[in-house]
Chain A
Amino acid sequence: MIQANEVLDAKGLACPMPIVKTKKAMNSLEPGQVIHIQATDKGSTADLKAWAESANHQYLGTVEEGDVLHHYLRKASGEEKAETTHEPTVSNEELQSALLKEDSMVLDVREEAEFAFSHIPGAKSIPLGALDEKIDGLDKDKNVYVICRTGSRSDLAAKKLTAAGFAKVYNVVPGMSGWNGETTSI
C-alpha cells in the first residue's frame, strides 16, 4: 500500500459524504502532506479530482481494488512559485539529455504517493523528509539531479546533499509539473 500521512475510511458512504469528510480531514493535515481516501462511491473519483483542482490540492491518483477506490491527494503546499537558492539548476530539457549519460542519477524527493503515480523511469525515490537518514546510501561520485514537483523541495534537498559533501548536485526546475518526457508508475 502506498504511504500516506492520513487514511480516511469513507467506504459505504454516498455522495456528498466522501468529499465532506475529506475536506474536514484536510484541515488537520500540514501543507504538502498526503491523504489516502478509501471510498466505494463510484462518483468519488471525478468529484475528488474536480474538488482538488478547485481547492488547489493535488490529486495524485486512484487505485482500484475490488469494490474499493483508493484515492490519493496531497494538501496544497504553497510551493507553486519555487524560490530556489541552490546552484546550479538545470531545466527539464537539460535533464532530458543528461538522462542518457551513465554517471547521472535522478533523485525524486516528492512524497511516495506522488512518485507512485508518475515518475521518470529509473528515478530513485527518497521523500525530502526521509533524506537525512538515507543520504549515506547515495553515490557521491554521480551527477545527482534532484527533482520534485516545482523545484522547491528539490532546492532544500540539493542544499542538504551539498552540505553532506556531494559535489555534483543539480536542482531540476521546474521539475515534474512541467515534465513532458517519459514517465512510469508503480
Chain B
Amino acid sequence: MSVTPMTAKQLAQKVIRKEPVFLLDVRNHDSFADWKVEGDNVQSINIPYFDLLDGVEDVMKELPDDREVVVVCAKEGSSIMVADLLAEEGKDVFYLQGGMKAWSEHLEPVKIGDTTQGGEIYQFVRIGKGCLSYMVLSNGEASLIDATRMTDVYIEFAQSKGVQIKHVLDTHLHADHISGGRKIAQQTGASYWLPPKDAEDVPYSYEALEEGKEITTGSTTIRIQPIYSPGHTIGSTSFIVDDAYLLSGDILFIDSIGRPDLAGLAEDWVGDLRETLYSRYKNLSEDLMVLPAHFMIMEEVNEDGSVGRTLGHLLKENHGLNIESEAEFRKKVTGNLPPQPNAYQEIRELNLGKITKNEEEQREMEIGPNRCAIR
C-alpha cells in the first residue's frame, strides 16, 4: 500500500475547509500536549514513534477507513518511518511533509477585501502558530504589517502581484514570534517602521511610528494611520487602513484580548490596556473590520480562512471588552495569565537586534503555540 506526502498547505486547506482528517501524531507526549494541529474536523491520536518500533499492528485497529490518515512528527523523519510500517500492514497513509516545523512555518494568503481606490488587503494566516500578518496593495506599491520570518513568502507574493514593498511595519515589539520586518526592509529597500517606545536602544535605524503620522501606499490612496495603543507593550500601535480596517496588533483579538505581562510589566500596563480597549477603541467606528495579529482557536477563523470581525461585533461578543468594573478587569488580566510563550525573552531580544541566531535556532525558538492572549 502507498505512502504519500501531504504538504502543510494541503493540510491547512483541509483544516480551513473543515474536511475530516485523522492525524496519527508520533511525537512524544509532552510535545503533543504542548502544541498540535487543531481544527473542527481534525481528530488526532498520539503514539510516540519509539513505541512503534516493534510493530504497528495494535495501531492499525485505531485508524479509520473513511477518512485520510496523516502521520505527523516534528520534522518528518519519524512520520515517514511509521507511515512505511503502516503501508506494509496494508494501509494507505499520508505523512505531513516537513512535519510540525513546516506546519509552524506555513503561511496562507487570504484576501480580506478591496480598498476604495482599487487596492486590496491580504491577510497571511500562519495557521500552525496563529500569527497573522497583512499586506496592503495599491497602485504598484505595498505595505507589509507584522511580517513573520518567512520573508520569501511576502516578497514572492508582492512580485506575483506586480507591487513593490515600500513600507514594512511592526505594530509592536513581538515576543511570541520572530519579526521578518527588518530583513524584508533590507532586501527590498523599504522603510522599516516601529513604535519608538518599543525600540529603545535598538542598534538599527527605523522610522518612528507615532500617533497622527500617516503612511501612504500607492498614489495617496491608502492611508495607514497609527494609533498609539499601549497595554500589550508600552509602544503598541494599531493602524486604521482606508477608514475601513482596524489592524489591532496584539491589543484586541476576536475572542480575547492582549496580555500585558510579556515584558514583566503587567501591573504597569494593565491601566493602559483598559484605556485603549474601553476608551480609545470605543470611540472608533463600529463598522471597522478588526484584523488582529493573532488568533488562538479555530473558532476565531471565518469560513473562508480569514480572521476578522467588525468592531461592533466584538464590542458585543468579546468577553474582554465587556468587563464593567475596572478592578475586575485588573484581576482578570493580571491574575490568571497563561504560560508564557516558548523562549519569549530571547525572541524579544532578537527582535530588538540585541542577539543574533541562525535559522535553525530561530526555528527552535518559535516551536509551540503563541500565547499572547487572555480569554
Q: Is the CB of B30 within 8 A of A14?
A: no
Contact indicator per residue, chain A 9-52, by CB within 8 Å of chain B (1) or not (0): 00000111101100100000000000000000011001100110
CB of B75 within 8 A of CB of A14, answer yes
- Are A16 and B77 also in contact (CB < 8 A) when A23-B53, A47-B28, A54-B51 are? yes
- Proximity bits, B290-322, A CB within 8 Å = 1, else 0: 000000000000000000000000000000000
A residues contacting the other copy or chain, number (CB 8 A): 15
Is A19's CB under 8 angstroms from B50's CB? yes
Task: List 14 interface pairs A-B (beta carbons < 8 Å), by A numbering.
Answer: A15-B74, A15-B77, A15-B78, A16-B49, A16-B50, A19-B50, A20-B53, A42-B364, A46-B28, A50-B29, A50-B30, A50-B48, A51-B51, A55-B50
The contact size tier of chain B is: 10 to 19
Task: Kindly provide the distance from the CB of B64 to the nearest chain A CB, expressed in whole angstroms.
Answer: 24
Q: List the count of A-B residue pairs having beta carbons below 8 Å apart.
A: 44
Complex CA gap A50/B49 in Å reads: 11
Chain A contacts to B: CB under 8 angstroms: 14-17, 19-20, 23, 42-43, 46-47, 50-51, 54-55
- Per-residue CB contact flags for chain B residues 78-113 toward chain A (1 = under 8 Å, else 0) read 100100000000000000000000000000000000
Across-interface contacts of A46 in B (CB, < 8 A): 28, 30-31
Known: A15-B78, A50-B30. 16 other contacts (CB 8 A): A15-B73, A15-B75, A15-B77, A16-B50, A16-B78, A23-B53, A42-B364, A43-B74, A46-B30, A47-B50, A50-B28, A50-B29, A51-B48, A51-B51, A54-B48, A54-B51
Residues of B within 8 Å of A23, CB to CB, are: 50, 53
- By secondary structure, the A interface counts as helix
Shortest B49–chain A CB gap in Å is 5
B29 surroundings in chain A (CB, below 8 A): 50
Q: Which residue of B lies closest to A19 (CB)?
A: B50
B-side contacts of A51, CB under 8 Å: 28, 48, 50-51
